[in-house]
Structure 1
């Protein structure tokens, strides 16, 4: 039986303020620990290129994305004291994007809709 694809991937890039990279990195383990209780979190990790940080994160659905953002909201606020989001992409089926447009509008994301039929099942 085919299960519908509701996977949502967030692709945020942060520019860390000069001299604040270690402070930003120190928040990483706290973010990871918070995601451990998120049933809908499929993967979550940080990667770095100089002072640019990327959080690699995937969720089972739009609802799981919203639950995650609520769960880490306080930590994200702390991260934004030492960095700024310079790009945010959301990759998901159009039906899931529709659920995220309003709640994520303040973050000004770019939405990429997965094309039906162009995916490996």
Structure 2
């Protein structure tokens, strides 16, 4: 079975430094505000468990994901001053993931290839 779903999702898991959760959550509000204006952003939000955060986000193809990273690059740098990415997953169809290998190499993500599914 093949899929015509071009969605690319990125799943960063953050470990927030002690005493920095409130500051990190303030940044989350800014991330969400910026992402809400992106044409190719399908969904975006932050989930928390104690001092860990997960950003669930999906985009119309690799171009949408890269546009988002350009849009929030300064916020990401500020977030990385008070938190570290402990796991980074990228999910999507192989032809879209190939477009992300070089631009995301510095983050050393784990890639998952979408092989079966659909999008309504």
Paired position in structure 2 for 1:45: 45
2:118 aligns with: 120
CA distance in 2, matches of 1:36, 1:89: 22
Q: How well do the aligned residues superpose, as a CA RMSD in angstroms?
A: 1.1
Gaps of 5+ in 2: none
Larger RCO (alpha carbons 8 Å, 6+ apart): 2
Deviations 1:72-111 (A, max 9, x none): 0000011011000000000000000000000000011000
What does the per-residue CA deviation read over 1:32-79, in whole Å, with 9 as the maximum and x for residues that have no partner?
A: 110122100000000001000000000011000000000000000110
Aligned ranges for residues 79-94 of structure 1 at < 5 Å?
79-94=79-94
- Structure (1 or 2) with the greater helix fraction: 1
Instruction: Supply the distance in 1 between the matched residues of 2:64 and 2:73 (Cα, whole angstroms).
Output: 14
Question: Which blocks of at least 5 consecutive residues in structure 1 are unaligned?
Answer: none
TM-score (norm 2): 0.94
Q: In 2 relative to 1, CA 61–120 (structure 1 residues): closer, same or farther, beyond 3 Å?
A: closer
* Equivalent in the alignment of 2:15: 15
Do 2:5 and 2:118's aligned partners in 1 also have CA atoms closer than 8 Å? no
Q: Which moved more, 1:28-37 or 1:84-93?
A: 28-37
Q: Does 1:64 align with 2:61?
A: no
After TM superposition, what 4+ stretches of structure 1 lie above 3 angstroms from structure 2?
none
> Normalising by the residue count of structure 1, what TM-score does the alignment of the two structures yield?
0.93
